[in-house]
A and B are shown apart, each in its own frame.
Chain A
Amino acid sequence: MALTETKSGEAGNELSGAEIVVQALLDEGVELVFGYPGGSVLHIYDALFKHGGVRHILVRHEQGAAHAADGYARATGKCGVCLVTSGPGATNAVTGIATAYMDSIPLVVLTGQVPTPVIGSDAFQEVDTVGITRPCVKHNFLVKDVRDLALTIRKAFHIATTGRPGPVVIDIPKDVTDPNIKIPYHYPREIRLRSYNPIEKGHPGQIKKAIDLMLQATRPVFYIGGGVVLGEGSAQLTALVRASGFPITSTLMGLGAFPSTDGQFIGMLGMHGTYEANMAMHEADLLIAVGARFDDRVTGKIADFCPHAKIIHIDVDPSSISKNVRVDVPIVGQVASVLTEMLPLYQAQKSRPDSAQVADWWAKINDWRALNCLEYDRASALIKPQFAIETLYQVTNGELYLTSDVGQHQMFAAQFYPFNKPRRWINSGGLGTMGFGLPAAMGVQLAFPDAAVACVSGEASILMCIQEMATCKQYNLPIKVILLNNGYMGMVRQWQELFYESRYSHSYVDALPDFVKLAESFGHVGMRVDQPADLEGALREAFALKDRFVFLDVVVDPTANVYPMIAAGKGHHEMHLAPGLTERELA
């Protein structure tokens, strides 16, 4: 019996629980499953083996499975899927699940569980997966009866991908997938949950209020976040921002939702945001927040946050509204839907914001811009990490899918690689998970086999999921790892330098591997560069190897710091600028 021949929603075939899992994934249109087998999921793996249809990617650690599914989801907008065994399989995946949760990424994570009769007996490889994952999932299920399996899987995909997306865990005891117990299979197409009805459209009265505020504004700023990317609202946002002529800043997660090379874009805001973006936030009289959640890395000290501004906040999640910062005009709804309604309404207004006032506002912003807050020493004999990212941008014409790990290299990439399209910049913003970049890049490369995919990382982060180089070999994934190797946990070192009188407590990574040989031992190409003059050539060489995984170890200046910087607990107007710029500070 070929499972793939079963039509969605048709009853008839008798399937085992294991076969139901495989068939349900097919009926969901799942292309890829990232996983790692183990005792509790062996029935499911056997069904995968016998029936095919779903492509399974064998990772080398369950954390990698979750990150890879996450990277796939971020790049495609589809739901990522992973399959892991009970106990350590599930706990290893937890970091990846929490990473997806913090950034609202749709994942369905299938975890094996010990058979129902022994649940609670501390059986081999038993862990309370539903309990452990509860605080870091949108929802989770324990399926105790095979008759509930198909419906539960449908519910999981529905919940994961609608409203504010997020990971959903389905814990499946081994006996529920017993190959000898077959039941009629029916996969529901439509599903309605009485307890879950995400809001789609914004309230017309609130939208009208927002338009009125826009028309009265003299110092407006759009502040956008990852919700614009997740909610597929990029085109609508771009149209509204252009129609208004207002400046726009983005969080780390929103980069690419509005073209970064556009003149209206004033850079990322927040802890490592640009001077002009943070100053504009501080002086603004109107904030139009779209799909952003007023995270502490963005707001800085709440008491000093946008002291002069009225705030409009568009978000699909009511609990994001007025959570950290009280807003004046909340609009709950899908970002794309709300923006689609706002644009014609704005255009139809007879009045416009006072153009002289807005011109003054732009003049002020351009003064801040003139400070050139991201400037660095271009004459350095060492490769500056900023220079490495700028060169990467030039060599790849800004067309990369770029994943990153977490730390200085992540901030340098956000500052120096302008993204003009959504879903191109893939990083762990909320949880800040070191080890995310390489497995996430696998998910992206598998989704887009012909695209140029790179992972910018640091020598500390990359070692956290280095084993996935074997997965890259097995599936011939031609990812380029651009390692900004400074020998330190750079961001930790930076904080220690600035706030702990340079006491570098355990932030120096001693005994690093030879990354060139390491990459070669996995069957990949390893390269190393330590001269600024050689960097561009090395990058071109790496990207010319279109069908090879290349690990480029870039030895960078170990003392480089990320500037500007707002220290924790400070306001937007209290930035540390790069040492050479301090005396030119305008504020």
Chain B
Amino acid sequence: MRHIIAVLLENEAGALSRVAGLFSARGYNIESLTVAPTDDPTLSRMTLVTTGSEEIVEQIKKQLNKLIDTVKLLDLSDGPHIEREMMMVKVRAERPDREELKRLTEIFRAKIIDVTETSYVIELTGASKKLDAFIDAVPEGLLIEVVRSGPTGITRGEQGLTL
């Protein structure tokens, strides 16, 4: 099962490596991991996506909670939540393909943010599956480069993961 877990961490040097080290030391899967400081500069918020049996995911959450730098943790998959991931895609955009790529960009409500004679950079935000679908939709042979941020997430409703 795929789980998306949000963690509030002390914004200390080395906090990220404690999390990364935990996953490698215990052999847990980690699909993506994003981290940045929050409105409170003493806190970082990390979103990580992992897969595993319920037992393993339970252990992952316990082990994350056990880290001294972990302030709070929430498994967003436990309830209604919103996930967003940002992607930038560089595509070959020669004359004959330009129209099709623009159409795709519109359909996916993406944006072209860089243009040259032969290429576009397209920016797209959404759930990870939507990003996958966009990549699948780009005609074969046109993809040059794909950059994804990894998903971040937030719960629906007024309850927040805060101190």
Contact = CB atoms under 8 A, between A and B. Distances in A.
Contacts of A138: 68
A326 B68 contact: no
A196 B67 CA distance: 8
Contacts of B62: 318-319, 321, 323
Given A134-B18, A135-B21, A135-B25, A326 B55 contact: yes
Contacts of A142: 13-14
B85 interface: no
A323 B59 contact: yes
A162 B62 CA distance: 18
The A contact surface, by secondary structure, is mixed
B14 A130 contact: yes
Question: What is the interface residue range for chain B against chain A?
Answer: 20 to 34
Given A139-B68, A195-B71, A134 B10 contact: no
Contacts, number: 39
A135 B59 CA distance: 17
Contacts of B69: 195
Nearest to B66: A319
A134 B21 contact: yes
A319 B59 contact: yes
Contacts of B59: 319, 322-323
A323 B26 CA distance: 12
A193 B12 CA distance: 14
Interface residues of A, number: 19
A194 B71 contact: yes
Contacts of A323: 59, 62
Nearest to A139: B68
A144 to B, nearest CB: 8
B70 A195 contact: yes
Given A319-B59, A323-B59, A131 B66 contact: no
Interface string A438-460: 00000000000000000000000
Contacts of B65: 318-319
Contacts of B66: 317-319
Interface in A156-215: 159, 193-196
A196 B68 contact: yes
Interface in B78-136: none
12 contacts: A134-B18, A134-B21, A142-B13, A142-B14, A194-B163, A196-B68, A318-B62, A318-B65, A318-B66, A319-B65, A319-B66, A321-B62
Sorted from nearest, which 5 A-B pairs have the closest CB atoms?
Answer: A319-B62, A139-B68, A195-B71, A135-B25, A319-B66
